[in-house]
Chain A
Amino acid sequence: MSQEIILQGVILSEVRYDISSENKSSTSEILAVEDLKKYYPVRRGVADLLRRSKKVQVKAIDGVSFTVNEGRVYGLVGESGSGKTTTGYTIMGLENPTSGTISFQGKTLSAKEHKHAGLSLKLRMIFQNPYETFDPRKTLWQTFSEILQVAGLGSRPERRQMSLDALSRAGLRPAASYIDRFPSELSGGQLQRAAIATALVVEPVLLIADEPVSMLDASIRAGVMNLLLNLNRQKKMAILLITHDLSVAWYLCDYLIVMYLGRIAEKGPAEQVLQNPRHPYTAALISASPMVDKAKWNFVAKGEVDSNIDLPKGCRFHPRCPFATDICREQEPAPEVAGDGWSYWCHHPLSVQKLKN
């Protein structure tokens, strides 16, 4: 690792697991997302209704494709509103896609299959806000018992033991002193661990973790990140990690999928993408991250994220991109291959030299 990355005092380049050595052998594909789109209808002001303007939609996801392999960690990164959570919900079947397909373990999922309990054993999500993840009127035990009951696992005493184990593995120890509490009786960090335990208790094949550490204090972040890493390493659980924080992605991920306004800007092996980003948006995210050496990375994207109702024509990043030219304003870039499993969507890809001067 040429670059030394420091996160909350931990030099990550030392502790970061190196996929190039041990984990090189390819694993089988478990999830394939193909040209996924999710548009929400929006009602704007009365004036728009009167003018009978054409149907207004939020393009939360606008044609996203990627695959997830068994036992790997994928980072879905991008600014707020780029469609990360919506992607997670759609994979989980919690939102119906406007178009596109989702295949899990070789099977294309329809809305019906998504509701099948068997799938909920293999596919789990940790939701963005731990304060809202639990029914406020149920104790942890009532929630866990229901999860296991729905999954058809265990007798009542067995379910209790399984719940205690999961809480304990998620770092709520002694679990017996937490299990009968209401969510309002836990701190944000404890709730986040309990949320992770809801996934642990069934050991899914794929875990979608939406901002699992963003609500946590720096002091407990590392613990939760290591917990996720252990799950991945020991249980071979694939993780789709949703985050806006590139230092978290850097620490945990084997692959990165960079999203901007509902589209993928760049995707590829985390190490390569982070060290040598091709898409200006990836570079902007890296520059904005506290982990980097500001002397080396002084690349800044102009302005704010555009509206995903009236998307910019051509490359949707062009209003903010310092390298934008006429072609960027007219034509959407086609995918280009930068390396093995690495592609980007940009007319004028970056090179390391371009960034450093």
Chain B
Amino acid sequence: MSGSKTAIFGFGVLLFFAIMAVSVQFLPVPNPNALNFQAFLPPSLAHPFGTDYLGRDVFSIVLWGSRAALAVGIISAGISAVIGIVVGAVAAYYGGWVDDVISRVVDVFLMIPVFFLILIVVAIFGGNIFYTMAIIGVTIWPSNARLMRAQILSLKEMTFVKALRSYGVGGFSILFRHLLPNGVAPVITNTMLQMGAAVLIEAGLSFLGLGDPRVVDWGRTIYLGEPYIAIAWWISTIPGAFLALLVLGLNLLGDGLNQVFRPRMRGSK
């Protein structure tokens, strides 16, 4: 029960940011890139979250920044989920050398420090947010593959797989229409956690100055506000708090789902 409450709270947070991202263009907030001559204004009615060192409205930056954050989370984790599910499922179901090769690749990926790999790639190709999403996606899938593989390995030994084969159902269909839906829950859970991780990785890259300058982005705002933290705490702290809230929400959603998902299975031996 507490699992579902956690999941609902996490989902509520995600929904809050989703609504923010979708509706921001209709809200009466100033252009987040618009400069004015009133830099370092503390929070006030006109600028609820104050202004940054160029006089940009931090409230507007926070609202617009939710788009980049969610896009990074969804696309990176989505790429990771698709690759991880297919690779893990194929490895487990077909076994043999296919499994050996895939498992070695996964091991290698899990050994290297992913953040530095991404850092190097982004440093080489420059701060384009689409590259960043893609590179995050194609480096974080191995944990999904490992989860999926473990699930399929145990599921494929179950009697219902023998039953399906005895009806004449093909291997492809058994894998993708029967085993996958039964085993995908931990991957979905992990995907929520990975969305949070991807948002943090992207923010981290931006914080190191490797963000996409064309995109309104929490991480870059934190980075650019950091030198002024003593005189204008709101520039870095408020976007940082929203970043933390989104990541927290995604983690709670992942953990909650983890407890909620229970296979519909009874009386197995």
Contacts and interface: CB of A to CB of B under 8 A. Distances in A.
A150 B167 contact: yes
A133 B160 contact: yes
Contacts of A150: 167-169
Nearest to A118: B168
Nearest to B167: A147
Interface string A138-177: 1000000011001100000000000000000000000000
A127 interface: yes
B167 A131 contact: no
Contacts of A94: 162, 165-166
B103 to A, nearest CB: 18
A136 B163 contact: no
B159 A128 contact: yes
B181 A137 contact: yes
Interface residues of B, number: 21
A116 B166 CA distance: 10
A237 interface: no
A128 B159 CA distance: 9
A127 B264 contact: no
Interface in A110-146: 115-117, 119-120, 123-125, 127-129, 131-138, 146
B265 interface: yes
Interface in B73-105: none
A138 B173 CA distance: 14
B178 interface: yes
Given A128-B159, A132-B158, A135-B182, A184 B166 contact: no
A198 B167 contact: yes
B264 A120 contact: no
B138 to A, nearest CB: 30
B214 interface: no
A89 interface: yes
A182 B181 CA distance: 14
A131 B266 contact: yes
B264 A136 contact: yes
A188 interface: yes
A151 B188 CA distance: 34
A183 B264 contact: yes
Contact of B263 (A125, A127, A136): A136
B159 A92 contact: no
B151 to A, nearest CB: 13
A238 B265 CA distance: 32
14 contacts: A94-B162, A127-B162, A129-B267, A131-B265, A131-B266, A132-B159, A134-B160, A135-B164, A135-B178, A138-B178, A150-B168, A182-B264, A184-B265, A188-B267
Given A125-B166, A184-B265, 5 more contacts: A117-B168, A127-B162, A129-B267, A138-B178, A198-B167
Question: Which are the 7 A-B pairs with shortest beta-carbon distances?
Answer: A120-B168, A117-B168, A131-B267, A132-B159, A136-B264, A184-B264, A150-B168
